[in-house]
Each structure stands twice: as structure tokens, then as C-alpha cells.
Amino acid sequence: MKRFNTSPISGMQELLPKDQAVFNQLKSQIEQVYRLHGFQNIETPIIDRTDILLAKAGGDTEKQIYKVVKTAETSADADQALRFDHTVPLARYVVEHQNELTFPFKVSQIGRNFRGERAQKGRLREFYQLDVDVIGHDHLPIAYDADVIFTAHQALSLILKPRFLIRISNRKLLSGLLQELNLVDFADQIFTIIDHAEKVPDTVTRQALNDLDLSNTSITKLLEFVAIRGVSSSVITALSALQVENPTFKTGLDELTAVLDLLKQQGIADQVIADMMIIRGLDYYTGSVFETFLPDYPAFGSICSGGRYENLASNFTEQQLPGVGISIGLSRLFAVLGPEGLLKVTTQPPLDVMLLPLSVQQYSAASQLAIKLRQAQKTVDINYTNKKLDKKLTHAAKIAHYVIVIGEDEVTSQSFKVKDLLTSQTHPLSILL
Amino acid sequence: MKRFNTSPISGMQELLPKDQAVFNQLKSQIEQVYRLHGFQNIETPIIDRTDILLAKAGGDTEKQIYKVVKTAETSADADQALRFDHTVPLARYVVEHQNELTFPFKVSQIGRNFRGERAQKGRLREFYQLDVDVIGHDHLPIAYDADVIFTAHQALSLILKPRFLIRISNRKLLSGLLQELNLVDFADQIFTIIDHAEKVPDTVTRQALNDLDLSNTSITKLLEFVAIRGVSSSVITALSALQVENPTFKTGLDELTAVLDLLKQQGIADQVIADMMIIRGLDYYTGSVFETFLPDYPAFGSICSGGRYENLASNFTEQQLPGVGISIGLSRLFAVLGPEGLLKVTTQPPLDVMLLPLSVQQYSAASQLAIKLRQAQKTVDINYTNKKLDKKLTHAAKIAHYVIVIGEDEVTSQSFKVKDLLTSQTHPLSILL
């Protein structure tokens, strides 16, 4: 016999049933929060047009995208690849179906995305992302930025054990500051330097700015800006104190103030800080940007992030479609935080009740009992094997909460004893109905 | 601007939010039935090893499989492709994890599979399948065949409006008959002829058998066998009357009898017929085979089918892993039966309550009200746009069941009027809490 390697390919999520149950539980809790907050669910295809997926991409995305080989019967189709996030297919979806959608379009997407990158712990190649986005037609009020942040906060509160903080900034602040300082030509480099500032000593950041041959005044101002972080009121005061007159900066300040105010109204001000070091790298964000982190476990980095993009689908349509979105990378959270015991999970046996008919003569009674218990929303299995009773009880103890042995006497008397396999106590059937 | 084609690739399922909601509702009803019947959910990766996926394949599968191109960072990996069903990855999964599973392993799989075939109505390239399987270790009692059929029956009852019938046979009957008639060398051809018998006139079937140069006695016996169908008792009588002594035939008869008896005990005998024309083509089934069809809409063909395979993973392990499974092709059902109004769906507005604060001053009150309503499990959105009230009401009427306008007076008096957008009636807030 040819030897096959039966392990999943490296970087794929494949869980044992008990772990899958926990994963599904976390996923459905987040889904429910998204629903309660008024987001409508959609699913885009996993396979999409390569030119659509790569329209705006660059850098790593292009190197990591999984292309799909056309078959004889699909040879006439466009080039195809697997989606690497939910945002690009969403842009195509909104353009394609815009006449049939109502705006603001509050949408959730829950599913697997694919990136062929080097596999490492918590960095999967096939991974679940749970996104919410709000898409406007022409215009989208800043309040929706707070709406998605609050939604993510509510979802994360349900699944995270340790306290977490949401860090918020607005890219218009730095953009405006660079305009004021006449440093627009250096924007890409400076955004990148600040994006990395957190991971390196201050001296390195200062040196990197120095290397750009900026004036000392500019460097001082930039470092002063980057150091601003804290609770809402203090940050707004500090940003105002910079006395930047540039209108983009002022818009950014107004937007940040509005978002912080709204989150205060939602009652989560103590889990929100404004932090000018938040940039979100080379992403397509143009306004609000946010990250979430665990202050007691800083090594995990951002566990949920997102931001505002002024134009979701600028590559596909002239129509202005501003949006704001946030994504929870559940596969990563599960892989990284799960083993550390940092996720709120209630583990329970996979099965509520296992029925053990003693012989074929009791199959019919077992069926009737199963139907009754399932009507009471209990998950029920019947063991039809001809193993010895003690073996069946051992098997039941592995997967079920309760076991009911069904013999001739039980059927005749219609009196069934329910054994709780967790406590070894015995109960009448009524506790399950 | 470059013109992009923003339509999904042909053969992909992409639904508007209202249709997605219906699809999700059907999917979660079936999921719930699977859970209640004691099946544990797992998810295998969508990308798997090509040699695993194609280990047993042949014919169309090999032509229709979507291969995935490795990226620079995954170049060291095995050749990869997208799974085309749930059964092959399940075989790999059970072999890989067998020491950590409990047997009989009752497992459900719900997700998308991929086949690059010619796109046509109801025949998608990316499609949902909702499977249940029971896998035994060494041995699996015949009662599990009835278990998966009953589970599928319960799921289909929840989602199908028209009556449906489950047709059952057992491939050991025909195999045994061919042994008895010394026609084992013609088995493949005869199985194929009988598999097609339903779609062609009887004369064509007879001619096809004639072309194999079989004796008249054999042809008569085969046609007599194939014509046997009906309710449980009549079929068992007719099969016994064939007086076939072959032990494989007898085993098949015993198994079929057992399955029909168990389904009678489950109370679904009137929706089950035994039918010797059911073969399930060139599938890997070795015992029970079943199909489901709508007698009033025969053109739709089988809407759910499955069977028993004596050895799930014979290509990957020496360990005997018998299994029995059934699959509901929900994307196909949705595409074919949905437009005909043949699916039980309850359409409701995507949103329970839309809150309309009249100005920024009422945002805080709206937030508090939203939190309260969400605690009562209502899905709630707040319209933050600065559109005119009548426009906001029109928007709300498109997506919400209820609307609450929040002005200064409402906030001061803490008295909110709930307007039912379906009936135009007004209610106090208490009806939502």
C-alpha cells in the first residue's frame, strides 16, 4: 500500500471535535453580537477573479495569493484565485449589487480566507475572519466608526478573559501635521517609521527621522505628536496644544473627538485610549484607525483592528463608497490565546444524552425516547453496537453528560433512570424534559 | 479607469442579504437537527493534499478538481487542491486522528466544496454540502444506516414544503444476484445499465443487457429484480420470492430488512420505499444506498443521497473503518427549489428595530435604548445619517420591522413609541422588552 501523509497541510486549521465545539461556540457568540447590532450577513465566493483581488494589492499580498488552476470545463473563465480577506470581495459585491442594497449598508462576513505565507504559530494560511463593515453611498457619518468599534468591543467582551484596550487614532491627524510641516513628500517614510515606533527604542525612531534630513523643529514636533496617548480628554487637549492650523489635521481632531465621545456614551470609555502611534501600516485606511490589545499580554500584539477607508471600491467604480470596518481574526485568537486559557469558553460534553438499549428488542423504545428528548432540545444518541454494557458506559462517559440504560423492565414500566455521568447521581427522566 | 467585471465568477453562490438570510436559516435548521441527533461537528481544511484527494478518484473528479498554485513561501509543501466533497477529507481526518476519536464516530460537516465543472442552473462550482456520517472501528452495526437516513429525513422535513420519499436499496442484493448468475465479470456494466434504467424506456435497458450477450434467463431475472419496488413488506416478500441462495444476496436482504424495520420504528415508514433501481452510480458504496426525491416534482432528481461504504479509508490505512453517510446539497436545493417556492422559509425583515435619533443630541439616548433592546435579544440599528426624517423612515421600512423616533421630548419623558412598519400600528416600548 502506498504510504499517504494524512496530516493536514501546514498552516491549515484542523481541530478535534471537542476543540471544534469550542471554536464554533466562540464564532456563534460573535455572530450573534454582529446580528444584534444590526449587521446583515453575506458570503462572497471563496474563488474570485484574480484581477479583482489584486486590483489594489501590492507587496506581500501578490506573493501570497493562492491562484487556482482552471479545469478543462472552466477554461473559458477569467483567471481565478482564493480571496485573502473579506474587504476586496466586499468592494466587488457592493459595486455589483449597489442598486439592490440599502445604504448605509451594515454588513457582516464570517468565513475563511487564504494566504500562502510561511506557516508559523498563530499565523495560519487558511483562517477565519469575522468582519463587520458599514458602507455609505457618497457619505458616511463618523458615528459609524464608533458603531463598528463598539460592536467589536461587545463581541470581544464575550470571548476574552483578560482586560483589553482599544487604541484609536485618525490618520488625518498625521497627514495634516505633515502638510503643516511641508513634509508631504516624506509621508510614506514617516508613516512607516511611526508604524514601527512601538517596536523599537525611541532613539531608533529619532535616528530614522534624522536620516530623512528633517529639520530639528519638525523632528521635535513629530516626536511630540507620536508620544500623545491616553484617555479621551487628555489627548484632545494635547492635540489642540500642538496648535496645528492645517484643515486636514482639524478634521482629524474633530473626527477623533466625535468617536471618543460616542464611545463614552456607549459606556466603554475606560477601555478606550487615543494613541497617536497607531497607524495601521500600509493599509488603505484614510481616517479612523484602531487596534485592540491585551495590556497584560502585550506580546500578542493587536487582536482585532480596522479603520475607515474613504473609498472602498475606487478601483471598480466612480461611485464614492466610504466605509469603516473591523475584523476579528478568530483562528489566530483561538490558536494563540486558547492554549493560554485566555478565552471564555464553557466546555461541556459534546452530547447531552446517550441511550443504551440492552438489545435489539429495545431499539424501538430507544427511538421513541430519543424523539421525546430531542423535542426538549436535548442532543441524543443511541448506541447500537453489540459491545458489553460496561464498554458502552465507558464510551458514553467520554462524550455524554447523561446516560439512560434501556432494558426490558424499563420499557415495560416506562420508567427510565437518568445517570449524570459528571456527578454519578441518578435522576428521574423528568429532569431532562 | 480600467473596467473591471464585478460579477462573481459563473457557478459561484453569491446572494443578496435577504436571500443569504433565508439560506442561513435553512442551514442552521439542518445544523440543529444534526446536533440533536448526536453528530459532532468538524471542519476539514478547504485546501488539501492533491494525492489524498485523488487517491481513489477517477473519471470526472480528476478533470474537475481545482488545483492550487503554491506560492514562494509554500513552495516546499505537497501539491494542493480544493476539496470536492466532505468524504475524502473525512477519511484522512479519521485516519490521522483515530486515537483521539471515540467510535462509532458520529460526525457532521457543513461547508463549501469545489468542482470546476461546466456551470449550469443548480449545478454550482462552489457549493454547500451538509453531511452526516457515522464511522465505525472494525465494525459498524446496520442500525446506523437507519440512523443517518432518519436524521436526513428530520432535516428535510423542516425545510421542504412538498412531500418527499426516500428510496432505499442495498448493493449487496445486486452483487449477490450477479454472483448467483455467474455474471461477476459483467458487474460494472450491469451496475451502470441499472443505474441509468430510470432515465430510459424499459426496452433500452433490455437491449443494453442483450448487448452483453447474457442468457435470456439472466436477463429476465435481472429485469424482474430491477422492477421490485414498493413499501417494506411487499419488497421483502418479492426479493425472497426470487429464491436467490447466494450469501451476499442474503446479507443484503437481511440488512435492507433491518433498515426498513428501524425506519418503521422511527415512524417514517410511509415516506420510505425500497427500490432495486437505486444504485448510486460508480460511488464507493458497498451496502445500503439511498436517494430522496419529490414525487410531485420528479424532474428535480435526487435531492439528498448517501450510502454505506465498507471501508472509508482503504487507501490510507490497513485499519477497517466502515461508514455510512448522507449529504444534503443545500446550494443546489436553494437554487433549484427556492425559486419554485418549495422551501419552507419564514421571511422577516433583516432588522427588528431601527432607532432614529433626530439629532446628535439624542445619540446618547439612542445608544442606551439600543443596549436595552439588544439585551432583550432584539437586533437593533441606529441611523446616524443626517438625511431628512421621511427619508430615514423610508430606509427603515426597507429593512426593519419596528422603528422608534427619538427626539428631545421622548428623551425627556423617557417615553418611546414603537411603530410597527408592517402594520403601521403604534405600540409602547414594552412590547419589545
Position B359 scores a pLDDT of 95
**What is the mean predicted confidence (pLDDT) over A235-242?**
96
Whether residue A8 has a cis bond before it, omega within 30° of 0: no
Which residues in chain A touch residue B141, judged by CB atoms under 8 angstroms apart?
Answer: 384-386
Min Cα distance A416 → chain B (Å) is: 19
Min Cα distance B237 → chain A (Å) is: 22
Contact flag A17-B41 (C-beta cutoff 8 Å): yes
Express each pLDDT in B123-150 by its tens digit: 899 999 999 999 999 999 999 999 999 9
**What is the mean predicted confidence (pLDDT) over A233-238?**
95
Work out whether strand B323-328 and strand B304-309 pair parallel, antiparallel, or are unpaired: antiparallel
Contact flag B70-A116 (C-beta cutoff 8 Å): yes
Which residues on adjacent β-strands are paired with residue A209? none
**Of the partner residues A93, A265, A398, the one whose CB lies closest to the CB of residue B363:** A265
Express each pLDDT in B184-225 by its tens digit: 999 999 999 998 898 899 899 999 999 999 999 999 999 999
- Classify residue B288 as left (phi > 0), alpha (psi -120 to 50) or beta: beta
Min Cα distance A181 → chain B (Å) is: 33
Contact between residue A119 and residue B78 where contact means Cβ atoms under 8 Å apart: no
Nearest residue of A to residue B395, measured between CA atoms:
A102
Contact flag A126-B46 (C-beta cutoff 8 Å): yes
Q: How far is the C-alpha of A169 from the C-alpha of A259, rounded, in Å?
A: 10
Which residues on adjacent β-strands are paired with residue B387? none
Min Cα distance B236 → chain A (Å) is: 20
Nearest residue of A to residue B90, measured between CA atoms:
A6
DSSP tag of B26:
H
Contact flag A46-B48 (C-beta cutoff 8 Å): no
Which residues in chain B touch residue A120, judged by CB atoms under 8 angstroms apart?
Answer: none
Mutate: best of B88, B102, B331, partner A, most A CBs <10 A: B102
**Of the partner residues B125, B147, B380, the one whose CB lies closest to the CB of residue A74:** B125
10-residue mean pLDDT profile of chain B (433 residues): values are: 86 96 97 98 97 83 91 88 96 96 97 90 89 97 98 98 97 96 93 90 92 93 95 95 97 98 95 94 86 92 93 89 97 94 92 97 96 97 95 95 97 96 96 95
The C-alpha cell at B64 is 474537475
**Three-state SS letters, A351-363:** EEEEEEECCHHHH
Which residues in chain B touch residue A6, judged by CB atoms under 8 angstroms apart?
Answer: 52, 92, 95-96, 316-317
Please report, as a single letter, which amino acid is at residue B156: L
Express each pLDDT in A248-294 by its tens digit: 999 999 999 999 999 999 999 999 999 999 988 766 899 999 999 99
B35-73 burial, b for 16+ CB within 10 Å, e for fewer?
Answer: bbbbbbbbbbbbbbbbebbbbeeeeebeebbbbbebbeb
Contact flag A2-B315 (C-beta cutoff 8 Å): yes
Q: How far is the C-alpha of B159 from the C-alpha of B72, rounded, in Å?
A: 46
Q: How far is the C-alpha of B205 from the C-alpha of A281, rounded, in Å?
A: 68
The label of the residue with cell 449529504 reads B327
**Angle, alpha carbons B13-B14-B18 (nearest 5°):** 120
**ipTM of predicted complex:** 0.95
**Of the partner residues B5, B147, B385, the one whose CB lies closest to the CB of residue A104:** B385
